[in-house]
Amino acid sequence: MAGHSQRWLVPYGDLSPARQLLLVWLSFLLPIAAWSVVSYVPFVWHPQVRITDPGGVSYFTKDSLVERKTFDLENAKMAAAGQPAAIGHPANPVFLPAPHEVAVAFHRGFTTPPRRTGEKWLHESLWQSVQIIAWGFAISSILGVPLGILCGTFPFFSKLTEPFVDFTRYMPAPAFGALAVAILGIYDPPKIAIIVVGTFFQQVLVIANTVRKLDPALVEAAQTLGANRREILFRVIVPGTMVDLYNDMRILLGWAWTYLIVAEYIGASSGITFFINQQAKYRIYDNVFAAIIMIGIMGFVTDRVLAVIGRQIFPWQKTAKPGLLRSLALARQRRRQEALPA
């Protein structure tokens, strides 16, 4: 038994908390390690040469990057002509900065002003993107969540709307870009519209499906307790599917982020996408990486925070640790028990 439990690979098995923590760290450390190997070990990849001394080669300049083949060819020519050879060290292309360079850029991105006046700082660009997402997701949810719940509850609404929704969701949201600009102008509204279009149709179907998965016996139990249609909807179906709906919303919010980049290309490019494009134009790829990683961090942190909040506000889940309100309720019950005569 002991030997069995110490195995790392057990189908549907459990891992000790220590092992889980180790693997969580490894899941981030391994890609960073691979990136570091490619960046710092000279004989891994490094297809170019960074010139430290151009020697006799007329068109090489100090600190420029040349293909290794060109470098060897020119040095062979120099050797034949008896001229001093160019000197350089292996380097990666400019679009693959090393981890420490990105780390520096990450810090610099928030501390250095934009190159041109009128351009936005990194944090301003991010804030603009966050606003687009928030508006798009909010508008989509205000319409999509109630409609999804109605579709999941009443076959009437399901048959009335779902076939059309199903049809529309196959149309890629970016396809509506030109239309959105024509109707809503070039600034934020068309971008928000793209996120709404991209999220809404999926949202209705996902939420309707979740609502349909509620155990029908709970609805029957409520009926035998005297619940009418409205009470079934608001006191059984809504609370009964709340946890799953909350988790659906977390996943849908992730999808909204994927529509963001497309949305920001539409009309006047803005937000984090504009920042990334500008940095790429200036060939500051450190900043490009920093911005992309920033999006990842924001999405990931948002999701984790929502997961923690979810455990607090839904104390009836098996996995939930008692939150603040729950602990108070349990303490109150204990006090009452102690107050009772034995």
Partner 1 sequence: MSTLQLPSYREQSPAVAERFAKLKARPVILDVQNLTKIFHAHTTLDRISLQVHRRELMCVVGPSGCGKSTFIRIVAGLETLTSGAVLVDGRPVNGPGSDRGMVFQGYTLFPWLTVKRNVMFGLQLGGQSSTMAESEARQWIELVGLGKFEESYPHELSGGMKQRVAIARALANKPRILLMDEPYGALDPTTRGRMQSYLMQIWRQVDVTILFVTHDLDEAVLLSDRILVLGTNPSQILELIEVPVPRPRSVEQMLTPEFLATKHRIEELIHGPGEAEPATLPRIRLTMAGDDVE
Residues that bind partner 1 (CB under 8 A): 215, 217-218, 220-227, 231, 235-236, 239-240, 242-243, 314-318, 329-330, 332-333, 337
3-class secondary structure, 171: coil
Is the CB of 27 or the CB of 224 nearer to partner 1? 224
Is the CB of 199 or the CB of 241 nearer to partner 1? 241
Residues 6+ apart with CB under 8 A from 8: 15, 19
Q: In what order do the strands lie in the sheet with 87-91?
A: 65-67, 48-53, 87-91
For Cα atoms 224, 315, 255, give the angle at the middle one, nearest 5 degrees: 100
Q: How far is CA 78 from the centre of its chain?
A: 51
Cα 156 from Cα 167, distance rounded (Å): 18
3-class secondary structure, 87: strand
Q: How far is CA 246 from the centre of its chain?
A: 17
The least distance separating partner 1 from the CB of residue 336, rounded to whole angstroms, comes to: 9
Q: Is 288 exposed, middle or buried (0-12, 13-18, 19+ CB in 10 A)?
A: buried
The least distance separating partner 1 from the CB of residue 304, rounded to whole angstroms, comes to: 23
Is the CB of 142 or the CB of 330 nearer to partner 1? 330
Is the CB of 61 or the CB of 317 nearer to partner 1? 317
- 8 A C-beta contact, residue 184 and residue 190: yes
Is the CB of 236 or the CB of 291 nearer to partner 1? 236
Is the CB of 23 or the CB of 330 nearer to partner 1? 330
Is the CB of 80 or the CB of 217 nearer to partner 1? 217
The least distance separating partner 1 from the CB of residue 231, rounded to whole angstroms, comes to: 6
Burial 263-277 (b: 16+ CB within 10 A, else e): bbbbbeebbbbbbbe
The least distance separating partner 1 from the CB of residue 239, rounded to whole angstroms, comes to: 5
Cα 60 from Cα 54, distance rounded (Å): 5
Residues making up the chain, counted from first to last: 342
C-alpha distances out from residue 209 to 97, 165, 205, 241, Å: 45, 13, 6, 10
Residue pointed to by tokens 């799953």: 244
DSSP strand pairing (48-53 vs 87-91): antiparallel
Is the CB of 50 or the CB of 212 nearer to partner 1? 212
The least distance separating partner 1 from the CB of residue 316, rounded to whole angstroms, comes to: 4
Cα 1 from Cα 10, distance rounded (Å): 13
Is the CB of 5 or the CB of 228 nearer to partner 1? 228
The least distance separating partner 1 from the CB of residue 339, rounded to whole angstroms, comes to: 13
The least distance separating partner 1 from the CB of residue 310, rounded to whole angstroms, comes to: 13
The least distance separating partner 1 from the CB of residue 315, rounded to whole angstroms, comes to: 7
The least distance separating partner 1 from the CB of residue 215, rounded to whole angstroms, comes to: 7
Burial 170-186 (b: 16+ CB within 10 A, else e): eeebbebbeebbeebee
